[in-house]
Each structure stands twice: as structure tokens, then as C-alpha cells.
């Protein structure tokens, strides 16, 4: 693996990148910004020397530019345009990353939140997501009785087999990262 420092001006975002561009105010944008502020860049961008395209790390590149960085570390690859696109999809494909082992994740999160002065937002999960992962009711859960809310909000009820819950929960958490919404979970007793 070849890692080099590259001037941000030399890095061309791939116009075919299928990821939704994050914007300030979006929950995922704010989480990534928080992570970069706290931990800095710990995963280099991926850059193709044949095309000059960023293959992986478009969102991080945007935030690093906004923060005033002039150079960033990149993993240099040398790929044809077709193989570059395949790698881009693989790097951004959540199916390739795998799913959470929910029990291990819950145990790990419980250990972390018991630490003094631990900021749970450093995990990338919102307070609502943490409550959902730890199966705790959200303290600010709204009943939907707010005046005018019925006209602007859609209520969805899902009934899921308990055996499927771990996989469904993972996908719901991904969805929650993209949109601001309230979720209420009731587990069988």
C-alpha cells in the first residue's frame, strides 16, 4: 500500500460517486465533522493516479477542505476507469462492510457510556440511536400530539418478527442517520 500526501487541489471528486453529498445541518454531516474534529483523519482517502479521481473519501475530502486543510494523506491506486468505479462502489457499499453483532455492540456501548465524561456522540450515533441500540426509551419521545404535527408528519408502524429484529434494527439505524425522525420501539415481553 502506497500512502502519499497530496494537495487537495490535485484531488478530483469523481462525478459518478453514488453517495449523497452531505451538507451542513444534515445529521450524517455533523457526525462526520464531529469525528474528524475529535479524532482527525485516521483513514486516508483513496486516489487513483491514472484518472486523478478520489475513489473513496469524498465526504471526508469536503469536510477537510471546509476546515482549511491544504494537503491530505491518500492511498494511491492505479486502476482503469472501470475498475476505479467498481472499487468506489465496494468502498461505499454497506453490504461489504458487514452488519453489527448487536449484542457485542450493545455491550461495547454500555461499557463506553459508563466511563466518566464520555461523550456518546463520538461513536457516531445520536442520542436517539444510542437509546434504540441500548433498548432504552428516549427521554424526549414525542407522542405526536403536537399541534399541527398531524398535517406535516407521517406515522409508520412496522411489525417485525423478533428473530429478524437485529438485521432490521441495523437498517433502521442507517436510515435514522440520514433523516431526522422519532422512533419508538416496543419489544415483546
Which domain does 66 fall in, by range? 2-97
Asked if residue 165 belongs to a domain, the reply is: yes
DSSP reduced 3-state for 186: coil
Cell of 88: 468506489
The verdict on 78 and 130 lying in the same domain is: no
Last residue of a domain, one of 76, 97, 118: 97
Q: What is the mean pLDDT of residues 50-62?
A: 96
The verdict on 107 and 92 lying in the same domain is: no
Asked if residue 80 belongs to a domain, the reply is: yes
The verdict on 24 and 85 lying in the same domain is: yes
Lowest mean pLDDT among 50-59, 65-74, 159-168: 159-168
pLDDT for the residue 45 = 97
Q: What is the mean pLDDT of residues 105-113?
A: 87
Residue 86 CA from chain centroid, whole number: 21
The verdict on 74 and 136 lying in the same domain is: no
Per the model's pLDDT, the better-predicted residue between 155 and 28 turns out to be 28
Q: How far apart are CA 91 and CA 47, in angstroms?
A: 12
Asked if residue 185 belongs to a domain, the reply is: no
| Burial label, 129 (beta-carbon count in 10 A; 0-12, 13-18, 19+) | buried
Last residue of a domain, one of 29, 64, 97: 97
Residue 132 CA from chain centroid, whole number: 16
- The candidate with the shortest Cα–Cα distance to 60, out of 75, 40, 79, is 40
Burial 171-186 (b: 16+ CB within 10 A, else e): ebbeebeeeeeebeee
Q: What is the mean pLDDT of residues 159-186?
A: 78
Cell of 151: 398535517
Side-chain-side CA neighbours of residue 1 (13 Å): 8
Last residue of a domain, one of 82, 97, 112: 97
Asked if residue 151 belongs to a domain, the reply is: yes
pTM: 0.66
Q: What is the mean pLDDT of residues 144-171?
A: 74
Q: Give the confidence band of 146 by pLDDT, cuts at 50, 70, 90.
A: low
pLDDT for the residue 68 = 95
Number of compact structural domains in the chain: 2
CATH number at residue 10: 3.90.1530.10
Q: Give the confidence band of 132 by pLDDT, cuts at 50, 70, 90.
A: confident
The verdict on 7 and 93 lying in the same domain is: yes
DSSP state of 21: P
13 DSSP β-pair partners: 54
- The candidate with the shortest Cα–Cα distance to 28, out of 1, 62, 55, 53, is 62
Asked if residue 189 belongs to a domain, the reply is: no
Q: What is the mean pLDDT of residues 112-139?
A: 76
The verdict on 6 and 67 lying in the same domain is: yes
Lowest mean pLDDT among 14-28, 109-123, 145-159: 145-159
Amino acid at each position: 500500500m502506497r500512502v502519499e500526501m497530496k494537495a487537495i487541489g490535485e484531488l478530483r471528486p469523481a462525478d459518478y460517486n453514488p453517495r449523497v453529498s452531505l451538507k451542513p445541518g444534515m445529521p450524517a454531516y455533523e457526525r462526520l465533522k464531529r469525528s474528524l474534529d475529535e479524532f482527525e483523519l485516521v483513514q486516508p482517502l483513496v486516489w487513483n493516479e491514472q484518472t486523478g479521481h478520489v475513489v473513496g473519501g469524498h465526504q471526508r475530502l469536503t469536510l477537510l477542505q471546509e476546515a482549511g486543510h491544504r494537503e491530505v494523506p491518500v492511498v494511491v491506486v492505479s486502476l482503469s476507469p472501470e475498475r476505479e468505479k467498481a472499487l468506489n462502489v465496494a468502498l461505499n457499499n454497506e453490504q461489504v462492510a458487514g452488519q453489527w453483532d448487536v449484542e457485542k455492540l450493545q455491550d461495547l456501548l454500555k461499557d463506553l457510556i459508563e466511563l466518566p465524561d464520555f461523550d456518546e456522540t463520538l461513536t457516531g450515533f445520536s442520542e436517539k440511536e444510542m437509546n434504540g441500540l441500548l433498548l432504552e426509551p428516549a427521554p424526549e419521545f414525542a407522542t405526536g400530539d403536537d399541534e399541527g404535527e398531524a398535517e406535516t408528519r407521517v406515522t409508520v408502524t412496522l411489525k417485525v418478527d423478533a428473530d429478524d429484529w437485529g438485521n432490521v434494527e441495523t437498517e433502521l439505524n442507517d436510515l435514522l442517520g440520514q433523516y431526522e425522525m422519532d422512533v419508538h420501539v416496543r419489544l415483546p415481553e
